[in-house]
């Protein structure tokens, strides 16, 4: 997406985002308490790390052994809704303006996760990570890690303005209707990665 267009869209979204962010802060404060923000180091374009931040949506509840409980057990109904509507991600619009992230692209992952992908991780990081992406509108939490990676790699190879605008529109639809697996997209992306001769992806877990 053209950088000027991206900034323009980002600023337009900001008009709506500010009051939604204020509501989100109030929900987090009353549901899970302080701190309001969650921050973590993630890998950006070309492996350049940056600090990602978003509204905190989970408590630090642990089991008897001190291990954090699963995500679903640490959310409240209110914060789960924040996550579904992507309100917790609104602070990342600032990172888009700072050119650390894009409106659309593969979601930013931990540096060690990217390193574990080998050449596929390097190719995935050839673009800025996005606020939303092809995997996020094709199943997201209903996908395996390998399926997400294949969708991300397919996006990097096929990205265009039309595709980015489609993903942004579908992101709104996902927020309304919920996440659903798109089997056709998953199969197409997996086949493309498996059969692609352009890159030496070392993906041992891709199904035959």
Token pair of 168, please?
């942004």
Instruction: Report residue 62's pLDDT band, with 50, 70 and 90 as the boundaries.
Output: confident
Q: What is the pLDDT of residue 185?
A: 97
The least confident of 15-19, 110-114, 164-168, 200-204 is: 200-204
CA 145/CA 193 separation, integer angstroms: 14
Token pair of 80, please?
């789960």
Q: What is the DSSP string of 75-118?
A: --HHHHHHHHTTGGGTTHHHHHHTTSSEEESSPP--HHHHHHTT
CA 191/CA 203 separation, integer angstroms: 12
CA 138/CA 33 separation, integer angstroms: 32
pLDDT mean across residues, the chain: 90
Judge whether residue 45 has pLDDT over 80: yes
Q: What is the pLDDT of residue 200?
A: 62
User: pLDDT digits over 115-162, tens only?
Assistant: 988 889 999 999 999 999 999 999 998 999 999 999 999 999 999 999
Q: What is the pLDDT of residue 167?
A: 97
């Amino acid at each position: 997406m053209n950088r000027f267009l991206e900034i323009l869209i980002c600023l337009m979204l900001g008009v709506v985002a500010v009051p939604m962010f204020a509501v989100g802060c109030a929900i987090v404060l009353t549901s899970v308490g302080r701190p309001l923000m969650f921050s973590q180091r993630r890998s950006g374009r070309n492996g350049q790390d940056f600090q990602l931040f978003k509204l905190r949506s989970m408590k630090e509840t642990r089991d008897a052994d001190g291990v954090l409980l699963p995500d679903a057990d640490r959310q409240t109904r209110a914060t789960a809704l924040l996550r579904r509507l992507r309100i917790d991600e609104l602070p990342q619009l600032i990172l888009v303006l700072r050119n650390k992230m894009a409106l659309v692209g593969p979601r930013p992952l931990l540096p060690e996760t990217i390193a574990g992908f080998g050449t596929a991780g390097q190719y995935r990081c050839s673009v800025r990570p996005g606020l939303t992406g092809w995997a996020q509108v094709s199943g997201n939490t209903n996908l395996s890690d390998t399926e997400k990676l294949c969708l991300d790699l397919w996006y990097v190879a096929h990205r265009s303005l039309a595709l980015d605008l489609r993903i942004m529109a579908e992101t709104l639809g996902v927020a309304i209707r919920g996440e659903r697996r798109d089997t056709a997209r998953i199969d197409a992306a997996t086949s493309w990665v498996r059969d692609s001769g352009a890159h030496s992806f070392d993906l041992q877990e891709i199904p035959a």
